[in-house]
Amino acid sequence: MIETITKIIVRTQKVRLYTEAEPFHFESGPTLAPVDVAFETYGELNKDGTNCILVCHALTGNSHAAFYSSEEDRVPGWWDGIIGPAKGIDTDEYFVVCPNILAGCYGTTGPMTINPRTMKEYGTTFPATTIRDMVRVQKRLLDWLGVTKIQLVIGGSMGGMQAIEWAVMYPDMVIAAAPIATGASHTAWGIGLNEVARQAIFTDPAYKNGDYYSSGQPARGLALARMVAMISYRSPESFSLRFQRERIKNADGVDVFDLKNIFQIESYLHYQGAKLVERFDANTYVYITRAMDLHDVARNRGSLEEVLGSVKPQMLCIGITSDLLYPATEQHGLAELMPHATYAEIQSIHGHDAFLIEFGQLNRILKEFLREAASQ
């Protein structure tokens, strides 16, 4: 689909990047073909291919980062507040690319893709996937698009992991990178939370060892996994401000002591769980949370100090004051070990999700950083 809207050209596409003649080689050893990648672009690539900004999405995100249409038919993207004319990522100046990750479930090849050899979904036969695998597929996409330089690679959470790997793996292509609310490696805290979420999926009888596509996915398990994650995405202050101890009233508008008279925070978590079940795949959730757990920028490269100390691109490490999942100290630590890095902080009570909420602060931070990076 190609649609021209006002000053912005929005493109949603899918391309086959790997074939039987040239399959993709996973870090874990196996090869796979074909491999398709779904992506969106915003703005125009200049003739030299040098005005690209790569946006990397987080765990359950997709390539639909922004969209501009008539007010009657608006389909919002997850980063509409950041991407657009005169915003932090200015589509009048930059060619913006946002791909769905390898092992994703929004168009890019992953566990729910049909295996052409069996004509069934890959499911748990899909190869173990790493952040570095995701980045290598993204590199192939940008080469196909004609991108020669990336002015900025940016992403939050798992997207931030990708941004760090880009800076290490392709330093001659990347001018600058901005990892947000992430770390050099996934911590024991983060791994533990992901394992609880995965066990919620595995113990749902509907999971059937990942072979559930003909019977319906494990809705209860995936919903519970999302509920666990949502608690880590916000802060106690954020939840208290929004919900306090308010109850869901009964038909008479009063609190009663029965199982239906739940607290509002409970209702919110159940709602978020149900929403994810409608739009996401359980096997995909298992695969990409494992990819996050495996993230370690120093793995097989040397010491962390050596690896980060050799990073060439300019780096903007952005922390969030109330982030419980990736405390701001992790971004501080990144910035301290990189030779061309600065640290910026989002002041927010909203926890890890603040990079999807505090658009005003993030726009100011990005505009300043891009101005400084361009002057170097």
Active site residue 258: no
Which of 106, 88, 87, 109 has its CA nearest to residue 98? 106
**Cα–Cα distance list, 127 to 118, 166, 288 (Å):** 15, 22, 11
Sign of the dihedral through C-alpha 54, 59, 62, 67: negative
Tokens describing residue 260: 């239906």
Burial zone of 251 (CB within 10 Å; 0-12 exposed, 13-18 middle, 19+ buried): exposed
Q: Model pTM?
A: 0.93
Q: Say which residue the tokens 């993709």 belong to.
A: 24
Question: How many CA atoms within 13 Å lie on the side-chain side of 338?
Answer: 27
Active-site pick, 57, 133, 157, 185: 157
Residue 245 is predicted with a pLDDT of 83
Decide if 196 contacts 313 (C-beta within 8 A).
no
Active-site pick, 186, 295, 350, 352: 352
Tokens describing residue 208: 């059937």
Residue 2 is predicted with a pLDDT of 36
Active site residue 352: yes
User: How many residues belong to the chain?
Assistant: 376
Which of 15, 2, 242 has its CA nearest to residue 108? 15
**In 133-207, which ranges are E strands?**
150-156, 176-180
Distance CA 111, CA 114 (A): 8
Q: How far is CA 113 from the centre of its chain?
A: 20
Question: How many CA atoms within 13 Å lie on the side-chain side of 26?
Answer: 17
Active site residue 186: no
Report the run of H or E that residue 282 belongs to, with start and end: helix 282-294
Active-site pick, 238, 323, 350, 353: 323
Sign of the dihedral through C-alpha 135, 141, 147, 152: negative
**What domains appear along the chain, each with residue ranges and CATH number?**
2-186+296-375 (3.40.50.1820), 191-289 (1.10.1740.110)
Residue 48 makes CB contacts below 8 A (sequence gap 6+) with: 148, 149
Distance CA 142, CA 156 (A): 20
Phi, psi (5° rounding) for residue 352? -55, -35
Tens of pLDDT, residue by residue, the chain (376 residues) = 333 333 344 567 999 999 999 999 999 999 999 999 999 999 999 999 999 999 999 999 999 999 754 444 567 899 999 999 999 999 999 999 999 999 999 999 999 999 999 999 999 999 999 999 999 999 999 999 999 999 999 999 999 999 999 999 999 999 999 999 999 999 999 999 999 999 999 999 999 999 999 999 999 999 999 999 999 999 999 989 888 888 776 666 666 666 667 888 998 999 999 999 999 999 999 999 999 999 999 999 999 999 999 999 999 999 999 999 999 999 999 999 999 999 999 999 999 999 999 999 999 999 999 988 777 6
Spell 161-196 as b/e; 16+ CB within 10 A means b. bbbbbbbbebeebbbbbbbbbbbbbbeeebbebbee
**Cα–Cα distance list, 82 to 25, 26, 57, 321 (Å):** 34, 33, 13, 20
